[in-house]
Amino acid sequence: MKSEAEVLKSIGERLKEIRIQKGYTSYESFALDHDLGRMQYWRLEKGEANLTIRTLLKVLTIHGMTLQEFFSEGF
């Protein structure tokens, strides 16, 4: 069973992977384009933020993904 830190890191890696697939090479440009705090989003991708469901849902809505899609594909 993964620790909390390992789960947050896995979620962050998945968010980064999706961002790059959508053509954003920079977390900063993604955050600015979608009205997200740059440092907050950077911390999400690094697995260093206490991720809330609300924040995750906001980012997934930007990507046009459901929670099921996010967690089923390579998680």
pLDDT tens digits for range 14-61: 999 999 999 999 999 999 999 999 999 999 999 999 899 999 999 999
Please give the pLDDT value at position 75: 65
Nearest residue to 18 (alpha-carbon basis) of 57, 49, 64: 64
**The domain 4-72 belongs to what CATH superfamily?**
lambda repressor-like DNA-binding domains (1.10.260.40)
Q: Tokens for 40, please give them.
A: 């907050």
| Long-range contacts from 29-38, C-beta under 8 angstroms, 24+ separation | 34/62
Domain assignments of the chain as residue spans, ordered by start: 4-72
